[in-house]
Amino acid sequence: MGCGCLMVLLGASFPRLAIVLLLLFSNWFARAFEGLLIPLLGLVFLPYTVLWVSVVANWYRGQWGLMQLLLLAVALLLDFTPLIGRQLRRSR
C-alpha cells in the first residue's frame, strides 16, 4: 500500500490528524488554498469538508462535477452530524 492510500485511510478515520500531517509535511493545502487560514479553520470546524475541497483542487484540478458535489454534501454531512446529534440530545 502506497503512502497516498495510507493518507486516504488516515483522512477518512482521523481527519484532523490528516490535516495536521499534511500541513506539516507537504504543500497539499498550498495548492488548494491561499494561505493557512482556511485549513486551520477546517481543522477546528469542518475537517472532512476541507479535506474534500483540497482533494478536488489537487486530484481533479479544481473541476467540480456531479460526483464531486455529491461527495461535498457527504463531507458536510459527516462534519455536521455530531452537532445535530448534540442538539437532538439537548432538546429531549
> Residue 27 above 70 pLDDT?
yes
- Ranges of beta strands (E only) in the chain are none
Q: What is the pTM of this model?
A: 0.83
Q: Is 13 left (phi over 0), alpha (psi -120 to 50) or beta?
A: alpha
C-alpha distance across the termini of the chain, in Å:
46
**Measured between alpha carbons, how far is 7 from 19 in angstroms, rounded to an integer?**
10
Question: Which domain does 81 fall in, by range?
Answer: 3-91
Arithmetic mean of pLDDT, 61-74: 96
**Measured between alpha carbons, how far is 80 from 45 in angstroms, rounded to an integer?**
9
Number of domains in the chain: 1
**Measured between alpha carbons, how far is 58 from 81 in angstroms, rounded to an integer?**
26
